């Protein structure tokens, strides 16, 4: 945290711990009254009308006293707690989760614990998720490594889940080629899970990014892998499944990519290999595009041969604090709208809209004329 | 030949030899004046007006005296010369070539030399062509063999080209499971090409079908492989490419299947294998469906789970002599037409139309009412 005072930082750390992610009701409360007041309301069990759901999801943890320890652990690792208010928050990529999801499935995360020097928004549009079986074959690990190195050579970040098998091979391939790779974990960023990847995760933390929505100390659990998978897909411009058996967890990440409208690729293999049954099914069903080389993977994320590092038109709003992003999203392309209308469309309180508009005005993104706000050309 | 007298048989054998297939102009001449007159006209260099092209394509060979030798060789092998007049001629399957082709690319064959006891029309709708690289990998040969055995167990014929690699493995797999397999050759059915397949071709001839449009003695030549490929695709309800490099001949057979509107499948493999580059490209481009097991192959030919041996609605005209088939094709579904109109649409002479209608009337397929012919329900 670089931009918030200590009370805000402590409030965010409390909010990130007080409910099991994804916690849509807590996120809504923060949007409505801000993090400091939200944290106080939860602790004091007195949330505003319309936010009763928060009481329920924070029942078990509202008394936690681990916030200072979590932040100390974070500082000790040289890590940071990122929130939608931070400039490096990949708002565009993550907001796709809100557009695609019901609350039950999980929207955007409330906050992210991040270890590593690269800004988190190196992920997103041009990054590629390489995922697949833990019980990978040597073929699958070879392909994952080759693809990751090739993507790194093109300046693309490689996102994966830090697991054995395909994930590990993808991270290693990216590191070997000097690329940025991000491991999105289903446990705290201070845990070494799986234990055999202690050194790999250390290296990713030093040269890439280790990311989690779970506070330090959180242990991996089955449901957290599924919740985590949505972030792997959301933080990547495209997802490629390298190897997957019939019931691989990678098919869940693939489903998220599809749900988010992101391109999905799958690598073919021998039809006699159990770990290619899943990828073949995705291709045969038309869910995934067959990708047989790294150029085909790159084409998934930049179909028209765009420069992967060039600014895409949608990215002018990337890196905006979440409220500003929601406000921008609520202003029509060719029309002026009042603050009340923006509050209605964005779901933000009028005060929050006013604050966000002030920021956007300073940033040169909006104009006001007789009470109507427009996007600036 | 079972249904023609000797002069007709000798005429067909002459016509099958006198021009390099595909010889559309010769086929048109036969349709116009019958095989005996067509053979005489070509030999005497006096074709009817409108058929001048025939003189040109028969220039080099019109003096041939090999007809008796060809027929003797055929008899000695226990083989037969099939023409569109034979009941086992797969008229529906082969006529797709006329509908899809320009003359330059090759329409239906004039006649076929066939060795083997099965009737030729066991090929067609439910048969599957398994094709691929001569320089196949052990993986490709294994898959071809497994698919062929599985198809044989379902009562489906397997069509291929008799070559080394995928073709040979497909034929062997079918034979091993007691199935009918057809080798469509780019040389005479008496040639053992490739030489290492002498015993395999012998076995196919004894238990399956060896098929060629080239007269006995014809040697294999590069252009004949391309011409032959269209027959492999046309004689099969679907084509599956098991392995193919970037410039494999199998991609030509695949293109024919597509042109004929027949389903095309392709088998995935390791992306590090040069012999899967072609199949992966077909799948990635959407030209072929990925097929990873024999059930997926079967679904290509009977998508709705039909019984592969049940009669398809289109097959009531299968096995018809070619002229009758062309006449049926020229009668609209819900309307009566005159003999002149049929002659115009079918491209047949009025006399040929009259003869064909007589046969169709006897077979119960058409009705006449005041000079207008209709399809019988």
Q: Tell me, what's the ipTM? A: 0.75
pLDDT recorded at residue A315? 45
A297/B contact by beta carbon, under 8 A: no
State the Cα–Cα distance between residues B274 and A88, nearest whole angstrom. Answer: 43
Distances (CA, A) of A49 to A29, A53, B17: 10, 10, 93
Average pLDDT, integer, range A158-163: 98
Name which residue leads in pLDDT, A309 or A128.
Answer: A128
* Distance from the B156 Cα atom to the nearest Cα atom in chain A, whole angstroms: 21
Q: Chain A contact for B273, CB < 8 A?
A: no
Q: Give the pLDDT score at A68.
A: 94
pLDDT of residue A3: 46
Give the tokens for residue A343. Answer: 């509050």
Q: Nearest residue of A to residue B282 by CA position? A: A290
Reply yes or no on domain B320-375 having CATH 1.10.10.10: yes
Of A142, A267, A283, the CB nearest to B290: A283
What's the rounded Cα separation, in Å, for the pair A321 and A324? Answer: 5
DSSP sequence for B363-375 = TTSEEEETTEEEE
What pLDDT is attached to residue B309? Answer: 46
Which tokens belong to B208? Answer: 């399956």
H-helix or E-strand spanning residue A136: none
A245 touches chain B (CB under 8 A): no
Q: Could you tell me if residue A78 is left (phi over 0), alpha (psi between -120 and 50 degrees) or otherwise beta? A: left
**Architecture (CATH level 2) of domain B112-301:** 3-Layer(aba) Sandwich (3.40)
A31-73, pLDDT tens digit by residue?
Answer: 999 999 999 999 999 999 999 899 999 999 999 999 999 999 9
- In angstroms, the CA A92 to CA A87 distance is 12
The set of residues, in sequence order, having a beta carbon less than 8 Å from that of A368 and lying 6+ positions away, is: A357, A361, A374
- What's the rounded Cα separation, in Å, for the pair A311 and A299? 17
State which H helix or E strand residue A253 sits in: helix A250-259
Closest CA to A174 of A52, A297, A88, A89: A297
Query: B124 - beta bridge partners?
Result: B236
pLDDT per residue of chain B (377 residues) written in tens, 0 to 9? 444 589 999 999 999 999 999 899 999 999 999 999 999 999 999 999 999 899 999 999 999 999 999 999 999 999 999 999 999 999 989 989 988 765 446 789 999 999 999 999 999 899 999 999 999 999 999 999 999 999 999 999 999 999 999 999 999 999 999 999 999 999 999 999 999 999 999 999 999 999 999 999 999 998 999 999 999 999 999 999 999 999 888 999 999 999 999 999 999 999 999 999 999 999 999 999 999 999 999 999 987 655 444 444 444 565 677 778 778 877 877 788 888 888 766 767 778 888 888 878 877 788 888 888 888 86
Residue B13 has, within 13 A of its CA and on its CB side, a CA count of: 26
CB A260 within 8 A of CB A97: yes
Contact (Cβ atoms closer than 8 angstroms) between residue A136 and residue A163? no
Domain ranges within chain A, ordered by starting residue: 1-65, 112-301, 320-375
Q: For the beta carbon of residue B45, count every other beta carbon within 10 angstroms.
A: 11
Higher pLDDT, A102 or B154: B154
- Please report which residue ranges of A89-165 form alpha helices under DSSP H: 91-100, 138-153
Residues A139, B270: C-beta atoms closer than 8 Å: yes
What is the DSSP pairing of strand A366-369 with strand A372-375? Answer: antiparallel
Using CB atoms, pick whichever of B272, B277, B284 lies closest to residue A289: B284
Q: Does B267 touch chain A (CB under 8 A)?
A: yes
Mean local confidence (pLDDT), A288-301: 96
Q: What value does the mean pLDDT of chain A take?
A: 90
A312 contacts: CB under 8 Å, gap ≥ 6: A125, A306
Residue A367's pLDDT is 86
Q: Can you give the pLDDT at residue A362?
A: 75
A273 touches chain B (CB under 8 A): no
pLDDT of the residue at B318: 56
If one counts every other C-beta atom within 10 angstroms of the C-beta of residue B225, the result is: 17
Q: Is A312 helix (H, G, I), strand (E, B) or coil?
A: coil
Q: Residue A356's pLDDT is what? A: 84
Contact A271 B143 (CB under 8 A): yes
Report pLDDT for B314. 43
What are the respective helix, strand and coil percentages of chain B, to the nearest 5?
45, 15, 40
């Amino acid at each position: 945290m670089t931009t918030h005072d200590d009370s805000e930082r402590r409030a965010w750390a409390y909010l990130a711990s007080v409910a099991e992610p994804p916690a849509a009701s807590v996120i809504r409360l923060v949007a409505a009254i801000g993090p400091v007041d939200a944290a106080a309301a939860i602790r004091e069990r007195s949330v505003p009308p319309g936010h009763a759901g928060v009481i329920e999801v924070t029942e078990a943890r509202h008394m936690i006293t681990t916030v200072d320890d979590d932040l100390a652990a974070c500082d000790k690792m040289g890590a940071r707690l990122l929130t939608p208010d931070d400039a490096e928050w990949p708002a565009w990529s993550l907001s796709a989760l809100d557009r695609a999801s019901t609350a039950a499935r999980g929207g955007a995360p409330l906050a992210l614990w991040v270890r590593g020097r690269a800004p988190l928004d190196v992920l997103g549009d041009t990054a590629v998720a390489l995922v697949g079986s833990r019980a990978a074959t040597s073929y699958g690990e070879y392909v994952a490594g080759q693809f990751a190195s090739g993507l790194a050579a093109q300046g693309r970040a490689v996102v994966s889940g830090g697991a054995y098998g395909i994930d590990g091979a993808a991270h290693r391939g990216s590191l070997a080629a000097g690329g940025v790779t991000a491991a999105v974990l289903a446990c705290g960023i201070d845990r070494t899970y799986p234990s055999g990847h202690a050194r790999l995760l250390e290296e990713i933390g030093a040269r890439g990014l280790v990311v989690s929505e779970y506070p330090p100390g959180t242990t991996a659990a089955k449901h957290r892998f599924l919740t985590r998978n949505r972030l792997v897909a959301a933080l990547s411009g495209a997802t490629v499944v390298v190897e997957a058996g019939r019931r691989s967890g990678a098919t869940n990440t693939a489903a998220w990519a599809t749900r988010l409208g992101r391109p999905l690729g799958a690598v073919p293999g021998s039809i006699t290999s159990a770990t290619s049954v899943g990828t073949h099914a995705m291709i045969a069903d038309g869910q995934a595009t067959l990708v047989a080389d790294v150029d085909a993977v790159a084409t998934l994320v930049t179909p028209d041969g765009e420069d992967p590092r060039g600014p895409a038109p949608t990215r002018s709003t990337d890196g905006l604090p979440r409220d500003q992003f929601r406000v921008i999203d609520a202003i029509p392309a060719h029309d002026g709208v009042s603050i009340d209308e923006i509050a209605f469309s964005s779901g933000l309180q009028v005060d929050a809209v006013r604050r966000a508009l002030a920021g956007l005005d300073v940033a040169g993104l909006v104009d006001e004329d007789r009470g109507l706000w427009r996007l600036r050309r």
